[in-house]
Amino acid sequence: MKNSRRHSNFFIARPLFYLALSFLVIGGIPGRALDPSQKLARVKDIATIEGIRDNQLVGYGIVVGLQGTGDSQQTTFPIQTLASTLLRMGVSVPARSIRVQNLAAVFVSATLPPFSRSGTKLDITVSSAGDARSLEGGLLLMTPLYGADGNIYAQAQGPLVVGGYAISVNGNVKQMNHPNTARVPYGAIVERPVPLDIDHRNQFSLLLNDADFRSAEAVANSINEKLGRAVAHPLDSRRVTLNVSPGEEVPAFLADVESVEVPIYPRAKVIVNERTGTVVIGGRVVLQPVSILHGGLAVNVVSEFQVSQPGPFSDGSTKVVQQTNVDAIDKPVNRIDLKQGATVDDLVRSLQAIGASARDVISILQAMKSAGALEAEIEVQ
């Protein structure tokens, strides 16, 4: 009997427990409830810390060991680079006397992550700068990598890993992917670190990837609620300041801040790529009631050449006569009605039903935006 009472009391108290838990989740704010459809994202996924950033590196070098797929003699700078390299090694050879096709001039790029120290290894990307057909089987010689300030921050060297091939036999070419670009995993070693000291700083700034006042306020409120004190303050639509308490460990503080989950409020946006005909419509795009009439006029001009032969035993000559036929086809007008509460899925299904192409969809979306029926930002790439 005692056990049955305990179970009954537990089931009676469970709704009260869930009610108290709901108040804890919403932060004890009366009259507000969490939206179950609201999406959450970590701070580290939607913002970066100002000053803690990557740095781009680039260098110029040569790749040797190619099987006759290197730069041709019309590309002069690889030969000059080889002559200069040989001269530094004590071999003096005039550049005009060098006739090789087993080397290629390349540009080397890498990304130097923050807090990199001397000896840190980096992945590098190697791309042909001349008319080499393929970099397969090549070896990159030691290449210095420069930063934006002109200083050398890393040295690159190593065998190339090419994700494609190109074969040419008797004028027939078979190619897969891009054999003129290759990678060297851990092919660069950092020689000079970028100085970055965060131990003695008492203030940082979060930079949102997308500028939005509501998102900046939500980030600051979520950080303050998670840490239990007012450490974050929004300055504008992109920047949120963070104040470090005296004696607090900075890495642990930043780790706690980056792990905070905050609600996101993405902009309603439609991405249009005119070159490829790609259209991406966000789920938050709002459509207003609208009627769309879509049709087209197709005009075909066909030219045929006919040979006119003269009669027998006549003085005429053979003539080629051009016959031109013009056909005009007026396609029927297709109609789409979007009522109140229509979604993006309704619009896409309606456009597919009338057989609209990607180019037609782009024109229709731009016309809907001009008519005020599409509440979204159209970004043309």
**Tens digit of pLDDT for each residue in 276-322?**
778 888 767 878 888 877 766 555 566 576 777 777 777 777 777 76
Whole-prediction pTM: 0.66
Is residue 362 a part of any domain in this protein? yes
At 369 the pLDDT is: 83
Q: Are residues 128 and 231 in the same domain?
A: no
- Give the whole-angstrom CA distance, residue 292 versus residue 352: 14
Is residue 207 a part of any domain in this protein? yes
Q: Among residues 131, 160, 190, which one ends one of the domains?
A: 190
User: In angstroms, what CA-CA distances link 276 with 348, 356, 364, 380?
Assistant: 18, 15, 17, 11
Q: Are residues 149 and 208 in the same domain?
A: no
| Among the listed residues 207, 260, 238, the one whose alpha carbon sits nearest the alpha carbon of residue 40 | 260
- Give the whole-angstrom CA distance, residue 283 versus residue 376: 10
Q: Are residues 87 and 141 in the same domain?
A: yes
Would you mind telling me the total number of residues written for the chain in this entry? 381
Cβ neighbours of residue 296 closer than 8 Å, sequence gap 6 or more: 331
| Among the listed residues 261, 283, 267, the one whose alpha carbon sits nearest the alpha carbon of residue 211 | 267
Cβ neighbours of residue 58 closer than 8 Å, sequence gap 6 or more: 107, 108, 109, 110, 145, 146
Q: Are residues 77 and 183 in the same domain?
A: yes
Is residue 184 a part of any domain in this protein? yes
Among 53-62, 65-74, 137-146, whose mean pLDDT is lowest?
65-74
Q: Among residues 247, 263, 279, which one ends one of the domains?
A: 263
Answer yes or no: are the C-beta atoms of 335 and 350 closer than 8 Å. no
At 126 the pLDDT is: 95
Which domain, by its residues, includes 130? 55-190
% of the chain with per-residue pLDDT over 70: 81
Count Cα atoms within 13 angstroms, Cβ side, for 333.
5
Instruction: Please give the average per-residue pLDDT across 217-222, as a whole number.
Output: 93
Is residue 242 a part of any domain in this protein? yes
Q: Are residues 127 and 243 in the same domain?
A: no
Q: Are residues 332 and 360 in the same domain?
A: yes
Instruction: Please give the average per-residue pLDDT across 45-55, as a whole number.
Output: 91
- Tokens (6 digits) for 327: 């056909």
Q: Are residues 63 and 123 in the same domain?
A: yes
At 82 the pLDDT is: 85
Among 105-109, 140-144, 166-170, whose mean pLDDT is lowest?
166-170
At 168 the pLDDT is: 65
Q: Are residues 366 and 296 in the same domain?
A: yes
Q: Are residues 373 and 298 in the same domain?
A: yes
Is residue 298 a part of any domain in this protein? yes
Q: What is the DSSP string of 118-142?
A: TT-EEEEEEEESS--S--TT-EEEE
pLDDT at 211 over 60: yes
User: In angstroms, what CA-CA distances link 103 with 15, 33, 91, 178?
Assistant: 76, 67, 17, 18
9 phi and psi, to 5 degrees?
-65, -35
DSSP state of 379: E
Is residue 96 a part of any domain in this protein? yes
pLDDT at 182 over 50: yes
Q: Are residues 61 and 170 in the same domain?
A: yes
Residue 96 amino acid letter:
R
Q: Are residues 358 and 288 in the same domain?
A: yes
Is residue 239 a part of any domain in this protein? yes
Q: Are residues 138 and 257 in the same domain?
A: no
At 225 the pLDDT is: 93
Q: Where is pLDDT greater, at 29 or 5?
A: 5
pLDDT at 20 over 50: no
pLDDT at 261 over 60: yes
Q: Among residues 127, 159, 190, which one ends one of the domains?
A: 190
At 291 the pLDDT is: 81
Is residue 357 a part of any domain in this protein? yes
β-strand partners of 290: 338
Instruction: Please give the average per-residue pLDDT across 237-255, as a whole number.
Output: 91
CATH of the domain at 246: 3.90.1150.10
The number of folded domains in the chain is 3
At 165 the pLDDT is: 67
